[in-house]
Amino acid sequence: MSNLYTLLQAHFPKDASKPCLILPDRRVWSYRDIERASGRIANLIEALGLVPGDRIAVQVEKTPEALVLYLACLRAGMVFLPMNPAYQRHELAYFLADAKPGLFVCRPQMRALADQLALAAGVAHVLDLDDDGRGSLIDAAAGQRDAYVDVARNGGDLACILYTSGTTGRSKGAMLSHRNLAANARVLSATWRFRPDDVLLHMLPIFHVHGLFVASHCVLMSGSAMFFEPKFDVGRALQLLPQATVFMGVPTYYVRLLAEPGFKRDTSAGIRLFVSGSAPLSLETFEEFKVRAGHTILERYGMTEGGMFTSNPYDGERRGGSVGHPLPGTEVRIVDEQGGLINDRRVGQIEVRGDNVFIGYWRMPEKTAEEFTPDGWFRTGDLGSRDADGYIRIVGRSKDLIITGGLNVYPKEIEELIDAMPGVVESAVIGLPDPDYGEAVTAVVIRRQDAQGDLPSEAGIIAQLKGTLANFKVPKRVVFATELPRNAMGKVQKNLLRQQYPGT
């Protein structure tokens, strides 16, 4: 049987009373609680008349019941479709019409809209789940049996669809199979040395790969426990880090920890591993964290379409600015525009292959064919290079590449220099239309308001860069903003910046 839940369950502790989820109010969900609750919901799903392969769309906040709903979908052979709670009418209407789920689980405050959209999309059932884990879903499942026999699945059977937040065109539903998710779960739990006595501080959302698959699967695959927090809160992090052994976060979490005077070495003395991902970790944050916390953050690289592809080593050098080496079972190659292999430090397109790589885009066969090479490699759309030691470095998305006067400019190279300047919090470099150059290199800079002395100026930043970079890479303009637009996982949305400053 290749059902992912069956694999996870095989690694649950023999003592089912062992904690799995530790909640903010100190209530505990044991592994026995997880099994029974997921069994009740799986039985409910069957009672509603859904059959294996049907989609279940879910737009709720992070609660134990929400995680259990995901596990129940796996057990019943359904296809889980998590959605960001921030999505509104337009996005929801598209996802429901495209995925055609048999059940939509929403928050009670969205119920009226959910009923309306479900009727329009032909969704047979709507249930709700509130932010405290109550609602019609739980009420309906209460009368069901705890025991459930997991539905047999083939490795290639669909387990989840995650819609990518595409910057152009309509969102694409990345289809992940039981084999895809199982491959990554096995590799990550082993590579990062998860063990039964670990305690993960889980502050990530669970509508995304990072929180739902990477973090949760590592815990379930090791029979360990996690502090299951509804969101990242720096005060709560300072309280809980001394009781945890592993922490996973996006770069913003680490920046906020470093901004807290109370974050010291003894705060994280018991942590054996800090992991960062979902967005690039700046070299400044990497180095400052090493000094302040006494820990070297492990940065890794992946995406919705395949979970994790690379990781810095658990043992050995974790190199700042690098995402490490390919994980076991994943092949990574870097190619030029003609598809030829690049074996030196030059920048090229990153392509990946392995059991973790998704099976295609939902109802988009043409797009799927376009994103895979004839020999089966997935074109990630990311640009990167590989150094002599095999460490991979991501320099940006191919769509963010700037071509100015016929020459390629990689934004990250310039961003790293600007970010290191006194008085700068962070920057984003974009290309804007220019009648002479095609695209003009433009830097959007966030200044540190509490900086000592004069704030960085446009002329000052350009002057500093001219002494370091080739002239064609130096920004033609520098504009200042109070913040950079980001998606839910902290990635800077450069497409929005290009819209915001079209005439700069």
The CATH code of the domain that includes 381 is 2.30.38.10
Per-residue pLDDT, averaged over 266-273, amounts to 97
pLDDT of 148 reads 98
455 within a domain of the structure (yes/no): yes
Q: How far apart are CA 312 and CA 300, in angstroms?
A: 6
What φ, ψ does residue 197 adopt, rounded to 5°? Answer: -90, 10
Q: Which of 346, 369, 397 is the last residue of a domain?
A: 397
Least confident segment among 24-38, 229-243, 398-412: 398-412
Question: pLDDT at position 168, please?
Answer: 45
Write the CA distances from 57 to 42, 63, 148, 247, 359, integer angstroms.
15, 16, 22, 29, 19
User: What residues make up the domain containing 365?
Assistant: 322-397
CB 315 within 8 A of CB 193: no
List the beta bridge partners of residue 383: 349, 396
- pLDDT at 437 (0 to 100): 79
Three-state secondary structure string covering 350-407: EEEEECCCCCEECCCHHHHHHHECCCCCEEEEEEEEECCCCCEEEEEEHHHCEEECCE
- For the segment 290-313, what is each residue's pLDDT rounded down to a tens digit? 999 999 999 999 999 999 999 999
47 and 157 both lie in a single domain:
yes
Q: For residue 19, is it within any domain?
A: no
pLDDT tens digits, one per residue of 126-172: 999 999 999 999 999 999 999 999 999 999 999 999 998 654 457 89
Segment 252-266 shows an average pLDDT of 94
Number of neighbours of residue 488 by Cβ within 10 angstroms: 14
Rounded to an integer, what distance in angstroms lies between the CA atom of residue 13 and that of residue 31? Answer: 8
* Average pLDDT of span 245-267: 94
Average of pLDDT values for 451-458?
78
**Is 329 in the same domain as 370?**
yes
Strand order in the sheet with 19-22: 28-30, 19-22, 225-228, 199-202, 246-249, 273-276, 298-303, 307-311, 325-326
- Tell me, yes or no, whether 484 lies in a domain: yes
- Other Cβ atoms closer than 10 A to 129: 23
Within a domain: 189: no
Q: Give the Cα separation of 495 and 443 in Å (integer).
A: 14
Q: For 331-363, how does the pLDDT look when each residue is reduced to its tens digit (9 = 90+)?
A: 999 999 899 999 889 999 999 999 999 999 999
Residue 92 lies in a domain: yes
The CATH number that applies at residue 477 is: 3.30.300.30
Name the pLDDT band for 451 (thresholds 50, 70, 90).
low
Query: 383 and 355 share a domain?
Result: yes
Q: 48 and 145: one domain?
A: yes
Q: What angle do CA 361, 61, 103 make, to 5 degrees?
A: 55
Does some domain include residue 285? no
Residue 80 counted as domain residue: yes
Which of 397, 415, 433 is the C-terminal boundary of a domain?
Answer: 397
| Phi and psi, residue 329, nearest 5° | 90, -5
CATH number of the domain that 98 lies in? 3.40.50.12780
The verdict on residue 293 lying in a domain is no
Q: How far is residue 302's CA from residue 286's CA, in Å, rounded to a whole number?
A: 19
Residues 44, 99 within the same domain: yes
Question: Same domain, yes or no, for 343 and 464?
Answer: no
The model's confidence at residue 329, banded by pLDDT at 50, 70 and 90, is very high
Same domain, 345 and 465: no
Residue-by-residue DSSP string for 81-139: EE--TT--HHHHHHHHHHH--SEEEE-GGGHHHHHHHHHHHT--EEEE--TTS-SHHHH
pLDDT in tens, 172-212: 999 999 999 999 999 999 999 999 999 999 999 999 999 99
Structural contact between residues 359 and 177, judged by C-beta atoms closer than 8 angstroms: yes
C-alpha distances (whole Å) from 283 to each of 116, 288, 355, 420, 426 are 48, 8, 31, 9, 11
Q: Does the pLDDT of residue 438 top 90, yes or no?
A: no
Query: Is residue 259 over pLDDT 70?
Result: yes
Mean per-residue pLDDT over the chain, rounded: 94
Do 472 and 382 share a domain, yes or no?
Answer: no
CA distance linking residue 64 with residue 104, whole number of Å? 18
Looking at residue 395, what is its pLDDT? 87
Q: In what order do the strands lie in the sheet with 392-397?
A: 330-335, 348-354, 378-386, 392-397
Considering the domain architecture, whether residues 156 and 123 belong to the same structural domain is answered as yes
**Alpha carbon distance 169, 444 (integer Å):** 25
Average pLDDT over residues 261-273: 96
Residue 90 predicted with pLDDT over 90: no
Q: 436 and 391 share a domain?
A: no
DSSP for residue 341: B
Domain boundary among 135, 157, 176: 176
pLDDT for residue 218 is more than 70: yes
d(CA 305, CA 358): 5
pTM score, whole prediction: 0.87
Question: What is the total count of domains within the chain?
Answer: 3
Which pLDDT belongs to residue 404? Answer: 86
Q: For residues 339 and 409, state if they share a domain.
A: no
Is 166 found in the same domain as 31? yes
The mean pLDDT of 53-76, rounded to a whole number, is 98
Stretch 381-388: mean pLDDT:
94
